[in-house]
Amino acid sequence: MYKVMKAFVFRGCMNLVIGTGRTSVDIVVNANLELVDKFCYLGDMLSVKRYADAAVETRIQIGWSKFRLLVPLLTNKDASLIVRGRLHSSYVRSSIWHGSETWPVKKENEMALQWAEMRMVRRMCGVNIRNRVLSKGM
């Protein structure tokens, strides 16, 4: 019939399958499915649990990795805050919120996302928490 080709593996999903005690379920003759607690699919972490804790943690990690790639540009004092904000919004924030419309989000997840974003904004502006500048003022 069809040739079986090597499957595409998303770079962010390498070794991100966490299994359970049961290893597989037979569905038909000569076919079985592996049971796992959570797995990475197209860069999004899917979990057996109803909530999106794993997905939120993964997206925050992806956002920080994108932020670290752009640190020289985002923390450059020669660029205006408007340009840095647009760059942050289009590259970092969009990678964090990608796929979020399908998440059943809890209040803790929303707070974690807001906390991560405010830490990034504070770092862009060069403001430390010890400076006691309110987030609303930035």
Q: Read off the pLDDT of each residue in 117-138 and give the average, rounded to a whole number.
A: 75
pLDDT at 67 over 90: yes
What does the radius of gyration of the chain's CA atoms come to, in whole angstroms? 20
- Write down the H helix ranges in the chain: 53-69, 71-74, 81-87, 94-97, 107-125
| Structural domain for 41, as ranges | 1-48
Q: Are residues 104 and 40 in the same domain?
A: no
pLDDT tops 60 at residue 12: no
Span 45-64, pLDDT tens digits: 777 777 788 888 888 988 99
Length of the chain: 138
Q: In angstroms, rounded to a whole number, what is the distance separating the alpha carbons of residues 88 and 125?
A: 12
Rounded to the nearest integer, the mean pLDDT of the chain is: 76
Instruction: State which of 4-13, 46-55, 58-67, 97-106 shows the largest mean pLDDT.
Output: 58-67
Highest mean pLDDT among 6-15, 27-36, 108-117: 108-117
Do 3 and 15 lie in a common domain?
Answer: yes
17 & 81 share domain: no
Other beta carbons less than 10 A from residue 53's beta carbon: 18
Higher pLDDT, 85 or 41: 85
Mean pLDDT in residue range 102-129: 86
Span 125-133, average pLDDT: 72
Same domain, 89 and 135: yes
- Residue 26: predicted pLDDT: 55
Whether residues 58 and 118 share a domain: the answer is yes
The verdict on 63 and 105 lying in the same domain is: yes
Nearest 5°: phi and psi at 23?
-100, -35
Amino acid letter, 130: R
**Which pLDDT belongs to residue 4?**
42
pTM over the 0.85 mark? no
Q: Token digits for 34?
A: 């592996």
Burial of 46 (0-12, 13-18, 19+ CB in 10 A): middle
70 lies in the same domain as 133: yes
Positive or negative, the Cα torsion across 77, 115, 12, 43?
negative
Count structural domains, the chain.
Answer: 2
Are 134 and 84 within one domain? yes
Q: Which residue has the higher pLDDT, 71 or 103?
A: 71
